[in-house]
Amino acid sequence: MGEVEERLLDITSCDESEEAKENQGSKSSGAEQSDWKWWLQVAFFTFSTLAGIVASTLLGKVYYDQGGKSKWLVAALQTAGFPFLVPFLVISSPKTPNPEARNPLSLVVLASVYIVLGVVLAAAGIFYSVAIDYIPASTYTLVNSSQLAFNALFSFFLNAQKFSPCIINSVVLLTFSPMLLLFGQESGESEVMGNENYVLGILFTLAASAFPALLFSLTQLAFEKVIRSESLKDVIEMTIFQSLVATLVTLVGLVVTGEWATLSREMLDYEPGVLSYVMVLVWTAISCQCYTFGAIALTFKVSSLFSNIVIRLGTPIIPFLSVIFLGEEMNGLKVMALGLALWGFASYVYQHYLDEKEANNNINGVGDEAQDSTEQLKISAF
């Protein structure tokens, strides 16, 4: 009787394991639907980031080429479009409070996070506004590829990012490829305003690359260690309040430097006219906000590293659009730098492919082991 009871217990355990397996299958089906939703969100945020960075870069160059001169105004436009997100904040806010939600953070903690991130964002906008005035948009975009290398460095120290040979290869390529452009001022580039301004433009572009990289790493750190939430509402709040702080900083600079007094004359002297001047400013603000929101959302959904990878997708897009719409030149050194940048980007993408493949193999291996153990248990029961 004891042996029969043991077999019955074994059979019962087998049935329970099969039932658990069925439950796991239903959960995996729900997980697949959740994955589709996640990928759709990532695709939307990717489009928002790319459209914003391409449009804002080209519009910034148009502003300067048509007679605009205020660097502090351009810096303010990088973040002044945050009211555009207020309706989305209202829509994303839950109508009924969630009883399982985390306790709200103190106002001092949130204010400190927003102020620090806002100041870093303002610095990035100031460096960008100076750099885009000194060098063509296509050159700025290629030099700005070094942002990925800076982000890898900050991610290593702030976000515990692990390095692989592919990532190291990408960092090296994306760091040194823009240096080819330092030798391009004598290659017939008509927009360059002289050797000194060209070198200054490269240096300011490198600074404009480092500060957003630091911003994204700090943002990821804030989401993981401080905010600890997984709602779109928190992403929109982060974007709005850090943009508000950055806008206040740049507006103070606009007033202190006295540039605000020249804006009315600048608008009247703008070559295409007053309406074009206003439209360029408005759409620059909106496109910059689309870029900022998309990049922060990708940092929240995936990581700061992935956010910068998406930003680098704009690298091969902007130079060719600059040639088509702005009449800029595409010389041999730019093509070489672009090729190295694409090589570095492909190396990053390949590393993500390897990581995802390894993760899927580990999941399948666990499932196979569970199935083998169930079959062995059935055999031993009889």
CA distances from 213 to 44, 53, 285, 359 (A): 21, 15, 21, 27
Q: What angle do CA 338, 343, 344 make, to 5 degrees?
A: 100
> How confident is the model at residue 311, as a pLDDT?
80
User: Is 128 in contact with 208 (CB distance < 8 Å)?
Assistant: yes
CA distances from 265 to 63, 251, 258, 299 (A): 15, 18, 13, 40
Q: Is the pTM of this model over 0.75?
A: no
> How confident is the model at residue 194, as a pLDDT?
52
User: Is 301 in contact with 232 (CB distance < 8 Å)?
Assistant: no
> How confident is the model at residue 191, as a pLDDT?
47
Q: What angle do CA 291, 192, 342 make, to 5 degrees?
A: 50
> How confident is the model at residue 28, as a pLDDT?
47
User: Is 102 in contact with 176 (CB distance < 8 Å)?
Assistant: no
User: Is 91 in contact with 22 (CB distance < 8 Å)?
Assistant: no
Name which of 178, 192, 181 is nearest 328 in CA terms.
192
Instruction: Measure the CA–CA gap between 130 and 289, rounded to whole angstroms.
Output: 19
> How confident is the model at residue 241, as a pLDDT?
93
Name which of 348, 309, 305, 350 is nearest 154 in CA terms.
305
CA distances from 109 to 224, 227, 243, 292, 372 (A): 14, 10, 17, 22, 51
User: Is 223 in contact with 304 (CB distance < 8 Å)?
Assistant: no
Chunk the chain into consecutive blocks of 10 residues (it has 382) and report each block's average pLDDT, rounded to whole numbers: 50 51 49 68 88 87 85 88 88 61 71 92 87 75 75 78 74 68 52 64 88 88 81 86 93 90 90 91 92 87 79 71 71 73 75 72 59 54 48
Q: Which residue has the tokens 């290593």?
A: 156
User: Is 152 in contact with 161 (CB distance < 8 Å)?
Assistant: yes
Following DSSP, what letter does each residue of 77-124 receive, concatenated?
A: HTTTTGGGGHHHHHHHS-SS--TTSPPPPPHHHHHHHHHHHHHHHHHH
Q: Which residue has the tokens 């690359």?
A: 209
Count CB neighbours of 44 within 10 A: 12
